[in-house]
Amino acid sequence: MTNPRQLAFIALRDVHKGAYADVALDRVLQKVNLPDCDRRLVTELVYGSVRRQRTLDTLIDQFAKKKSHQQPQDLRTILHLGFYQLRYQERIPASAAVNTTVQLAKENGFSGLTGFVNGLLRQYLRQAGEQGGSTSLREAAPTATLSDQGAGGQRSRGAEEKDSLLVPQSSVTHFDPLELPENPVERLGILHSFPDWIIQVWLEQLGLAETEQLCEWMNQSPTIDLRINPLRTSIEEVEAALQSVGILVRRIPHLPQALRFIGNTGSIQKLPGFKEGWWTVQDSSAQLVGHLLDPQPGEVVIDACAAPGGKTTHIAELMADKGKIWACDRTPSRLRKLQENSQRLNLQSIQIYTGDSRHFAQFQNTADRVLLDAPCSGLGTMHRHADARWRQTPESVRELSVLQRELLTHTSTFVKPGGVLVYATCTLHPAENEEVISAFLSESPDWQIESPSGVELPDSTERTPQGWFKLWPHRQDMDGFFMVRLRKTNNSE
């Protein structure tokens, strides 16, 4: 079976049964040998339909007599695919989107409902003011997909190839069949397909205009950044090697090891320098964390939640691979990935330690520096994980904040007097960031926030009066991150 839409349907059916989107997609694609263009289409249909689920459900609610949750699950999935193509894929003719969706219904047990599917999609087109042409509402189809992925389901987005955004709000009422409520939280949630609670968290921090910009950014396909390994090569050498095979990259200000892919990359593992350990995939925001920690050659450093190892290996590079890094994590399978990466990068200073950092007593007062890259809700990286917005809840955030406070309280005991701890997350929720740090400092008089010297941060990085840093994706064009450097006073016991 090589029909891209049928493959997308199978993957989405698994997602709706609870599978992670990237796992379901990989499972389907591994069973077939598709041309790159078809792989890209399958990937776009799966990730896009998952990402835009709330908007697509709202369209079903609006045009069908039965609400989306009352439809048979497989039929709902088929309608998602149809509406997604009509609304967001300008390179697919509307007639082809309708006809292939009707065919999907026929081939998957809904031959008696093909007229319903056809009528529903054509009703949407009529309201959009077209009869099978290209709709003025759509967003440009992203150019890079699974065949271009690096680690973690990331996809390349060229600097000049970002998805175009929906037409301005002033025009939406004229062209857009999607009916939106007046309430700003619900309106943004339906238009950009996020749960209301996430919209509310952002609105409280950013206001309406920037929240909409952030929503639009999070619905783009992610970039792939790499970090060159200065112990094996130079940034100029990596640039030349990639250019020799037609791969374009650009440098990222303030990050001496960072390059960003522009356009499609093909298989990451086959690019020049990957097997040789010249570079590894790591987003620019994550690279900033290593510079904030500022490890020095010969020091003892503990990475308390290390897997899969991007920041651990960066620490080793910054230390010139001299000293000792204890890489701790409770998940053996993810630590194996760390071990593979450190071997490929030819790093010798990393020692792996399996277990929960909250229960380690042997590290007390042993480390010059500790990195706590805490488990979090990942609200700063939802563009990389299509289903993350639907998996997290206010309750899961509360549970994570408890875990984060426990980890911070315990791992702070690893630090020698006068040493440094960096707390970092890839979320944008104050309950996991500012509130965790404030609570820790109120209970720990021997700790204080330290403003880093010599660390350049991207322009418009939010530097709060309290001394912590927030990277907002729509401002810096990189993953959302929170980070703060803490110093243990010398008179601590």
Residue 402, CB-side half-sphere exposure with 13 Å CA sphere: 5
Beta-carbon contacts of 389 under 8 Å, excluding residues fewer than 6 positions away, are 51, 193, 194, 195, 198, 382
Burial of 373 (0-12, 13-18, 19+ CB in 10 A): buried
Q: Are residues 256 and 323 in the same domain?
A: no
Q: Are residues 330 and 458 in the same domain?
A: yes
Place 263 in a pLDDT band, splitting at 50, 70 and 90: confident
Q: Are residues 288 and 275 in the same domain?
A: no
Instruction: Identify any residues that bridge with 483 across adjacent strands, giving them in sequence order.
Output: 424, 469
Told to judge if 426 belongs to the known catalytic residues of this protein, a careful annotator would answer yes
Strand 469-471 to strand 225-228: parallel, antiparallel, or no bridges (unpaired)?
unpaired
Mean pLDDT of the region 201-222 = 96
Question: Is the per-residue pLDDT at 457 higher than 90?
Answer: no
Q: What is the pLDDT of residue 147?
A: 30
239: domain CATH number?
Answer: 3.30.70.1170
Strand 300-303 to strand 279-281: parallel, antiparallel, or no bridges (unpaired)?
unpaired
Q: Are residues 214 and 302 in the same domain?
A: no
Mean per-residue pLDDT over the chain, rounded: 88
Beta-carbon contacts of 190 under 8 Å, excluding residues fewer than 6 positions away, are 54, 55, 58, 178, 180, 181
In a domain, 493, yes or no: no
Residue ranges of E strands in 155-247: 225-228
| Of the candidates 473, 464, 463, 480, the residue with the CA atom closest to the CA atom of residue 426 | 480
Lowest-pLDDT choice from 29-43, 75-89, 149-163, 215-229 = 149-163
In a domain, 176, yes or no: no
Question: Is the per-residue pLDDT at 185 higher than 80?
Answer: yes
- Compute the C-alpha angle 168/187/51, nearest 5°: 85
In a domain, 133, yes or no: no
Q: Are residues 188 and 312 in the same domain?
A: no
Q: What is the pLDDT of residue 148?
A: 33
In a domain, 44, yes or no: yes
Place 174 in a pLDDT band, splitting at 50, 70 and 90: very low
Mean pLDDT of the region 142-161 = 34
Q: Are residues 318 and 267 in the same domain?
A: no
Place 452 in a pLDDT band, splitting at 50, 70 and 90: confident
Question: Is the per-residue pLDDT at 168 higher than 80?
Answer: no
Q: What is the pLDDT of residue 57?
A: 98
340: domain CATH number?
Answer: 3.40.50.150
Q: What is the pLDDT of residue 460?
A: 58
The token pair that represents 307 in the structure block:
């897997």
Question: Taking phi first (over 0 means left), then psi (-120 to 50 degrees means alpha), and beta for anything else, what does residue 386 get?
Answer: alpha
Q: How far apart are CA 1 and CA 54, in angstroms?
A: 29
Range of the domain at 471: 284-488
> What percent of the chain has a predicted confidence (pLDDT) above 70?
87
Which residue type, as a one-letter code, is found at position 293?
A: L
Rg of the chain (C-alpha set): 24
Q: Are residues 100 and 80 in the same domain?
A: yes
36: domain CATH number?
Answer: 1.10.940.10
Final residue belonging to a domain, choices 219, 239, 271: 219
**C-alpha separations of 410 from 78, 296, 406 in Å:** 49, 23, 6
In a domain, 379, yes or no: yes
Q: Are residues 445 and 470 in the same domain?
A: yes
Report pLDDT digits (tens) over 345-356.
999 999 999 988
Q: How far apart are CA 490 and CA 493, in angstroms?
A: 8
Question: Is the per-residue pLDDT at 281 higher than 60?
Answer: yes
In a domain, 145, yes or no: no
Q: Are residues 302 and 410 in the same domain?
A: yes
Question: Is the per-residue pLDDT at 160 higher than 70?
Answer: no
With beta carbons less than 8 A apart as the criterion, state whether 267 and 293 touch.
no
Strand 469-471 to strand 481-488: parallel, antiparallel, or no bridges (unpaired)?
antiparallel
Place 454 in a pLDDT band, splitting at 50, 70 and 90: low
Q: Are residues 414 and 476 in the same domain?
A: yes
Q: What is the pLDDT of residue 2?
A: 81
In a domain, 317, yes or no: yes
> What percent of the chain has a predicted confidence (pLDDT) above 90?
78
Place 36 in a pLDDT band, splitting at 50, 70 and 90: confident
Report pLDDT digits (tens) over 382-440.
999 999 999 999 999 999 999 999 999 999 999 999 999 999 999 999 999 999 999 99
The token pair that represents 162 in the structure block:
């970002």
Q: Are residues 329 and 344 in the same domain?
A: yes
The token pair that represents 81 in the structure block:
């695919």
Q: Are residues 235 and 352 in the same domain?
A: no
Among the listed residues 215, 328, 376, 426, the single catalytic one is 426
In a domain, 134, yes or no: no
Q: What is the pLDDT of residue 351?
A: 95
Domain tally, the chain = 4
Mean pLDDT of the region 173-201 = 92
